[in-house]
Amino acid sequence: MELKGKVALITGAAAGIGLAYSEELLKQGAKVSLCDIDSEIGEQVSDDLGAKYGRKNVLFCQCDVTDYPQYEEAFEMTMKVFNRLDIVINNAGVMNDRFWELEVDVNLNGVIRGTLLAYRFMGKDRGGQGGTIVNTASTAFARPQVSTPIYTATNYAVVGLTRAYGVSYLYQSLESKIVTTHSHRSVHFLL
Ligand SMILES: NC(=O)C1=CN([C@@H]2O[C@H](COP(=O)(O)OP(=O)(O)OC[C@H]3O[C@@H](n4cnc5c(N)ncnc54)[C@H](O)[C@@H]3O)[C@@H](O)[C@H]2O)C=CC1
Ligand SMILES: CCCCCC(=O)/C=C/[C@H]1[C@H](O)CC(=O)[C@@H]1CCCCCCC(=O)O
C-alpha cells in the first residue's frame, strides 16, 4: 500500500505498539490522528512527532474507545483536519483480568466501535473512498494465556471479528486485516 499522503487513525497511539505504528506511518509519508485516553502523554507524543515529521501531519484526539461519542468525535475531527481517512488501526488494549469488564469493553467492544465507525467514514457505499482497517490482537488467540483467560478470549474474538468483516467488507472496498503480536518480540503477521 502506498502510504504517502494517506491518513491513518490509530487508537492507543500514545505508547507502545500504537506509538510505533504512528511513527512508522509518518516515516512513510502518511498523516496520523493519534487517539488515546491519556491526554497528557498523548499531547506530548503529538508535539514530539509533530516537531520531527511536521506539525500539519499529526493530530491528537483525546479518545476513550469505550465511549462511543468520544470515538465518533475523533473520527469527525480527523476528517475535519485532514479531509480524508484511509486507514483505521484498532490498537488500544488493556490486559488485566481482574477488571475483566473493562478489558472486554476496550479490547473487543472498542474494536467493534472502531470497525463500525471506519465503515461509516470510509465505506464507498457511505460516500467514502474505501480504506483499510488493521486490528491489533495478541497471539494469545493461538496460544491461550492461562494466566489471563479473559484477555485471551478478547483476542480470539478480535481475530474472528476481523476475519468475518474482512470477507464481507471486501465488497465495500474496505479491507480488514489482523496484525497479531507476540510479546515484545513483536512478531507481526497479517492473516
Ligand atoms: N505488548 C505486548 O507484548 C503485546 C500487546 N498486544 C496488543 O497490542 C495492543 C497495544 O499494546 P501495548 O502497546 O503493549 O500496550 P500499552 O499499554 O503500551 O499501550 C496501550 C495504549 O492504549 C491506551 N489505552 C488504554 N485504554 C484505552 C482506552 N479505553 N481508549 C483509548 N486508549 C486506551 C493507553 O493509554 C496506552 O497509550 C493491545 O491491544 C495489546 O493487547 C498483543 C500482544 C502482545
Ligand atoms: C494490553 C496492553 C498491556 C500489554 C499487553 C501485553 O503485554 C501482552 C503480552 C502478551 C501477548 O498478548 C502475548 C504474550 O506472549 C505476551 C506476554 C504474556 C505474558 C503472560 C503469559 C503467561 C501465560 O501464558 O499465561
ipTM of the complex: 0.92
What whole-number percentage of the chain has pLDDT above 90? 75
Is 21 considered catalytic here? no
Atom of ligand 2 nearest to the CA of 138: 12
106 pLDDT above the threshold of 80: yes
Q: How far apart are CA 13 and CA 26, in angstroms?
A: 13
- Tens of pLDDT along 21-46? 999 999 999 999 999 999 999 999 99
Residues 117 and 37: beta-carbon distance below 8 Å: no
Given a contact cutoff of 8 angstroms between Cβ atoms, the answer to whether 117 and 88 are in contact is yes
Q: Quick count: other Cβ atoms within 10 Å of Cβ 144?
A: 14
Highest mean pLDDT among 6-10, 118-122, 165-169, 179-183: 6-10
- Looking at residue 185, what is its pLDDT? 33
Query: What distance in Å separates the CA atoms of residue 123 and residue 109, rounded to the nearest whole number?
Result: 20
Element (H, E) at 21: helix 16-27
CA-to-CA distance for 142 and 11, rounded, in angstroms?
23
Phi, psi of 117 (to 5 degrees): -70, -40
pLDDT band at 167 (very low <50, low <70, confident <90, very high): low
Please give the Cα distance from 73 to 77 (Å, whole number): 6
Q: How confident is the prediction for the chain on average, in pLDDT? A: 89
Catalytic residue among 71, 119, 151, 165: 151
Yes or no: say if 113 and 65 are a contact pair by the CB < 8 Å rule: yes
What is the pTM (predicted TM-score) of this model? 0.91
The residue nearest atom 21 of ligand 2, judged by CA position, is: 145
pLDDT above 90: residue 69? yes
